[in-house]
Amino acid sequence: MIELRQLFKTYCNKEYSLEIKEFANVLRVDGDIRAWNFVGCQKLRINRKDKYITVDVGMPREKWEAQSEANIKRYLFGGIKDAIIIMINKLKKRR
């Protein structure tokens, strides 16, 4: 996740528009304490007051338990990529 954070810091360091200043991905990882029970992206929300857009990215237990670091990274990068595409498409529709 540190690698991904560095990429965002380097390449995504400007405001998207006057209405949206931040893209926020919320990672929902199933575990012993809580299970979110979904895969992929859900719950697109736009907060006009605080000027951000967010999508939840679900990671079920089978996507991380007994998986290699490479498989976990591949899943996370794919989910975050999908979430960003969903957010951008929504903003394009709203102009």
Domain ranges of the chain: 2-94
Kindly indicate the confidence band of residue 1, based on its pLDDT and cuts at 50, 70 and 90: low
47 beta partners: 52
Distance separating alpha carbons of residues 48 and 91, to the nearest angstrom: 12
Looking at residue 60, its pLDDT comes to: 94
Kindly indicate the confidence band of residue 28, based on its pLDDT and cuts at 50, 70 and 90: very high
Distance separating alpha carbons of residues 30 and 46, to the nearest angstrom: 24
Amino acid letter, 30: D
Distance separating alpha carbons of residues 59 and 11, to the nearest angstrom: 25
Q: Are strands 52-59 and 40-47 parallel, antiparallel or unpaired?
A: antiparallel
Which position has the higher pLDDT, 18 or 41?
A: 41
Which position has the higher pLDDT, 38 or 94?
A: 38
Q: What is the mean pLDDT of residues 70-74?
A: 92
